[in-house]
Structure formats: structure tokens, C-alpha cells
Chain A
Amino acid sequence: MENISPPIQSSAGLASMRLERLNRLLFNNYPDAIYTIGMDGAFHTVNHTVCQVLQRTQEELIGQSFQLFIHPEHWEESSFYFKAATQGLPQRYQTVVLNGSGETIFLDVTNFPLKVGSEMVGIFGIAKDITVQKEREQAMLRTTQELQRQNEELELFRKIIAHDFRSPIARLLGLGRLLQKDNLQEKTQQTALVALLQSAQQLDGMVRDLNQMLALHHQGDEPREKCDVEELVQLCVANIQQEISSAGATITLAGTERLELFTVKAFLVSILQNLLSNAIKYRSSERPLEVKISLRQLGEEALISVTDNGTGMNLDKIGPSLFKMYKRFHQEIDGKGLGLYLVKEQVRLLQGRIEVASTPGVGTTFTVTLPMHL
């Protein structure tokens, strides 16, 4: 530390000597990083804190370009700020450097132009390590975003309860009251009884769905495991064999490529099963249902597409509502409309995306893209 030269050579004399010593003391022991950089961008002097922050010795730093230690993403702006300071304009900004272990350090930098007489010789600067604050800020931002998302969900649940759950309840109440009347025709009474049971079943299904959906949000650290997609498709087909048989559907697996993902098995099964159920639900009455599932790996991503020859839909009309809760787009088909919402949520949790292409009267293809390794 003894060989650090003060930034400005001062004239002799007792008063200035004392000030010079004071300056040097301050320079060396100041808790923030203090440095001077020449016009060529090379460190001229650095204090002890600079060495600590960058995890380098003075020898490693002096004479080296400061840019070597800046995070590559900040090269451009830091050279801009450096240039501005050497043109006589003090600068204050935040930047990121890499220390000797390759860790990123956030700095709050103040650079002043450094002149000797009227000649610009470089810059003089102070940098405060603000990594802890930055990390706290980022954690706070993540928490805020998560809270926002949860609030939106809460609003969604409020709507589900206000609109969707009220619907079968209102029916049950109405049917109950109707059945209390003593002047009912037998046929009306029979219809009412059947409808009463149906409504109760629907409500039951909705409660189960909602429960499943809420459970989805409580999971955060589900175990990831190796999943052979072909095996899982077979599992899904077995799970809904009854639906498949009664619809007279044929399900084929295209692409012989073995696709093995490292992901959350339960979600992947649920995604596949919901897409299959969806295809069965919206099959065309004019032709037997054929569902083709194709699997493909594209770099670090897995593409799973489910194509049907069902009723199809006009996406221009449906647009963003497709994956919303309790929306259904086909008359005369009993859809609770939660399936695709669940699919979308699960795909999101697996950090993937889902796309849909459809032609009315021809069929629909859902393509799910998932990271090979979650």
C-alpha cells in the first residue's frame, strides 16, 4: 500500500504535506472503492477496497484497462460514461463488474474528470458495492410479481365463484322449488329430477376441478424425473380407455423418436390427458375421430403435438379466451371448460408454451413445447 501514489502531486510545504498525508490515508482506508484511470482507460491508482471488490492485487490491476473487469453486457455503457467523464462531465451511474471468482458485483459509480492544470489526464472515481441492495431489490421485485400474479388469480377465483359456481347452485335451488309445487305434470317432474341430479353432478365436478387447480398452485418444488413421453401417452390412453372406446376413436403415435424429458411427471400426464379428452369432446359427428400424437426433439426443447380431425374452431373469433376458465365454444357439448386452462397453467409451470392451430370443420392441433431438462 506504500507505493500508491496520490492522484495529484502537490507542492512542498508543511500545510500541504499534512493534507497530502490525510488524503492518502483517506484514499487507502475509505470503505468504498477509489481509483484513478488514465486517458487510455488503464488503472492508475486503486485503493484497498478496489482490490477487495475485484479480488485482485494492485499489481494485477494497475496498468490494466478497467474495461477488463466490467461485465460484458455493460461494456458499451461504461465506455460511454468513461468518455463523458474524460470530456469534463462528472458521471454517476450503476454498473456490473466481475470479480476474480467470476461473480457479478453491482456498483454505484461516481466518476469525476481529473485535470492537472488545464490538461485532462483521466478520471477520478468512487464506486460503492451495492450488490446486497441489488439482490434485495431483485428478490423484492420477484415477490411483487408473484403477489401480483396471485392477486390476479384471486380475482379470477372471485369471478368463478360469482358466475360459474352460482350457476348450478341457482339451478338446484330453482329445481328444488319447482319440485315443491303440487300442480306439476308428471313429465315436468321427471325432467326436473333428472336435471337436479345433473346439476348436482356438475357442481361436484367443478368443486373437484377447482380443488385440483388450487392444489396446482401449492406445488412449487415437485420432483422432476425422467419421463418417457411414449410411455406416458400409453398411460393416458389407458386412463381414458372408456371415453376412447365409446367415441370409437383411433389414437396413433407418430414419430418413432424416443423422447425422454426431465420434468414433472404428474403435470405432463395431466397435459396429455386433457388434450386427448379435449379431442374426444370436440370430435366431429360426421367422421370417426382420429387423433395423431407426434413427438419431436428440437435442440433443447421437446415438441409434443396432438392433432385431431374434430369440429375445429374459428380462432379469430375465440382468440385469447381459448385457455380461460369455464369458457366453452361449442353449443350442445357439455364442457366445463377447465381443461385447457389447466393445460395452460401446467405448461407454464413446466416453463413451456402451448400453441394452437385450427380450421373449422377440419380439426385442431395443439402443440406443446417443453424444455428437455427442467
Chain B
Amino acid sequence: MYNKVYIVDDDEVSIFLTEAMLEAERFATECKGFQDAKMALQNLLESARGSSADALPEVIFLDLNMPFLSGWDFIDALAPYEQALKGHCRIYILTSSVDEQERKRANSNSLVAGFLQKPLEDECLTQLKKSS
């Protein structure tokens, strides 16, 4: 079981759904949902810089299509902290998109640990738990 997981998604229902699935699978002790990607980014950056007592989440489920700050913008903003994040925090894209281009883009980005399609499935969570 993970200690801490972030869910970044502008859609309230999606956060609820992911949280409920994680809970049912006993995936993590703490699950934090962010509808505002900027806020999540700010928290992460503070943890990565060590300017906050908050520990980094071990897993982030990140949506792509969000207003103001897209999932890709989010990852770009984290790029300078790749070393601080490596080995501590894994980012999974969790999107409803079935666009192959997005998957390719995710596969070629070193900060992205995996590309998951909504809805999150039990088997997928079991796999992720094993690698914890």
C-alpha cells in the first residue's frame, strides 16, 4: 500500500471515481484530489525543493485535458526537478483520450511512468500496487 497519492483532474466526478477505486483496492493511506492543477503543481514544487514539510506523493494520476494548465504543461513545469522526483514519485497519465499521439508523447517522456486510460481498472491498480 502506498502512503500518498495525488489525483490531478479538473473533473470532479473523475476524482471521485479514481478515489473510490483506490479506496476499494486499498491502494493508498492518503489520497489527495486536486481539481486545480496549479495548486497541485505548487504543492509538488514545494516538496521537491524541500521548502515544505509535505512529503512527495509516491504516485500521481494526472489528467491531460485541463483548462489553464494542461497535463503536459504540468509535466513541463516539473521537468527541472526530474532528479528530485526520480525514484520518489511516479507520474501516470490518466486520461479519457484515445488519441494515439498522446500515448506516443507519454512514452517518449522520461517523467511519465505510464499511460493509463480512463476508467481505471482493478487489474491495472493491482499491477501498480505490485510495483510499489
Interface positions of A (Cβ within 8 A of B): 159, 162-163, 166-167, 169-171, 173-175, 177-178, 181, 183-184, 188, 191-192, 195, 198-199, 327-331
Q: Are the C-beta atoms of A166 and B97 separated by less than 8 Å?
A: yes
B10, B13, B24, B99: residue with the most chain A Cβ atoms closer than 10 Å:
B13
Q: Are the C-beta atoms of A166 and B98 separated by less than 8 Å?
A: yes
Q: Are the C-beta atoms of A171 and B36 separated by less than 8 Å?
A: no
Q: Are the C-beta atoms of B97 and A163 separated by less than 8 Å?
A: yes
**Least CB separation from B94: chain A residue:** A170
Judge whether B118 is part of the interface by a CB distance below 8 angstroms. Answer: yes
Judge whether B120 is part of the interface by a CB distance below 8 angstroms. Answer: yes
Considering the chains assembled together, what is the distance between the CA atoms of A103 and B118 in angstroms?
63
The interface residues of chain A lying within 8 Å CB-to-CB of B14 are 171, 174
Interface positions of B (Cβ within 8 A of A): 10-11, 13-14, 16-17, 20-21, 24, 35-36, 65, 67-68, 96-99, 117-122
The interface residues of chain B lying within 8 Å CB-to-CB of A188 are 20
List 26 A-B pairs, Cβ < 8 Å.
A162-B97, A162-B99, A163-B65, A163-B97, A166-B98, A167-B96, A170-B118, A171-B11, A171-B17, A171-B119, A173-B118, A173-B119, A174-B14, A174-B17, A175-B119, A178-B17, A178-B24, A183-B24, A184-B20, A184-B24, A195-B17, A198-B13, A327-B67, A329-B68, A331-B10, A331-B35
Q: Are the C-beta atoms of B96 and A170 separated by less than 8 Å?
A: yes
A167, A192, A331: residue with the most chain B Cβ atoms closer than 10 Å:
A167
**Least CB separation from B21: chain A residue:** A178
Q: How far is the CB of B39 from chain A (nearest CB, A)?
A: 11
**Least CB separation from B64: chain A residue:** A163
Q: Are the C-beta atoms of B17 and A331 separated by less than 8 Å?
A: no
The interface residues of chain A lying within 8 Å CB-to-CB of B11 are 167, 171
The interface residues of chain B lying within 8 Å CB-to-CB of A169 are 96
Given A162-B97, A188-B20, A198-B13, A174 and B118 contact (CB-CB distance below 8 Å)? yes
Considering the chains assembled together, what is the distance between the CA atoms of A167 and B11 in angstroms?
10
Q: Are the C-beta atoms of B36 and A331 separated by less than 8 Å?
A: yes
Considering the chains assembled together, what is the distance between the CA atoms of A188 and B13 in angstroms?
11
**Least CB separation from A177: chain B residue:** B119
Per a CB cutoff under 8 Å, which of A170, A184, A191, A331 touches B119?
A: A170
Count of A-B residue pairs with CB < 8 Å: 70
Considering the chains assembled together, what is the distance between the CA atoms of A141 and B126 in angstroms?
57
Considering the chains assembled together, what is the distance between the CA atoms of A184 and B17 in angstroms?
12
Q: Are the C-beta atoms of A175 and B17 separated by less than 8 Å?
A: yes
The interface residues of chain B lying within 8 Å CB-to-CB of A198 are 13
Query: Knowing that A174-B17, A177-B122 are A-B contacts, what are 6 other residue pairs whose CB atoms are under 8 Å apart, sorted by A's residue number?
Result: A167-B11, A169-B96, A181-B24, A184-B24, A330-B67, A331-B67
Considering the chains assembled together, what is the distance between the CA atoms of A192 and B15 in angstroms?
12
The interface residues of chain B lying within 8 Å CB-to-CB of A166 are 96-98, 118
Given A163-B96, A166-B97, A171 and B13 contact (CB-CB distance below 8 Å)? yes
Considering the chains assembled together, what is the distance between the CA atoms of A174 and B121 in angstroms?
8
B17, B98, B117: residue with the most chain A Cβ atoms closer than 10 Å:
B17
Considering the chains assembled together, what is the distance between the CA atoms of A192 and B65 in angstroms?
22
Q: How far is the CB of B69 from chain A (nearest CB, A)?
A: 11
Given A174-B120, A183-B24, A162 and B16 contact (CB-CB distance below 8 Å)? no
The interface residues of chain A lying within 8 Å CB-to-CB of B118 are 166-167, 170-171, 173-174
Given A178-B17, A328-B67, A329-B67, A170 and B117 contact (CB-CB distance below 8 Å)? yes
Considering the chains assembled together, what is the distance between the CA atoms of A111 and B36 in angstroms?
71
Interchain residue pairs A-B with the least CB separation, the first 10: A174-B119, A170-B118, A170-B96, A167-B96, A162-B99, A166-B96, A195-B13, A174-B17, A163-B97, A173-B119
The interface residues of chain B lying within 8 Å CB-to-CB of A162 are 97-99
Considering the chains assembled together, what is the distance between the CA atoms of A163 and B65 in angstroms?
8
**Least CB separation from A183: chain B residue:** B24
Considering the chains assembled together, what is the distance between the CA atoms of A171 and B36 in angstroms?
19
Q: Are the C-beta atoms of B16 and A191 separated by less than 8 Å?
A: yes
**Least CB separation from A328: chain B residue:** B67
Given A178-B17, A191-B16, A163 and B119 contact (CB-CB distance below 8 Å)? no
Q: How far is the CB of A180 from chain B (nearest CB, A)?
A: 10
Considering the chains assembled together, what is the distance between the CA atoms of A178 and B65 in angstroms?
23
Considering the chains assembled together, what is the distance between the CA atoms of A178 and B19 in angstroms?
11
The interface residues of chain A lying within 8 Å CB-to-CB of B120 are 174
The interface residues of chain A lying within 8 Å CB-to-CB of B16 are 191-192, 195
Considering the chains assembled together, what is the distance between the CA atoms of A163 and B11 in angstroms?
14
The interface residues of chain A lying within 8 Å CB-to-CB of B17 are 171, 174-175, 178, 192, 195
Q: How far is the CB of B93 from chain A (nearest CB, A)?
A: 13
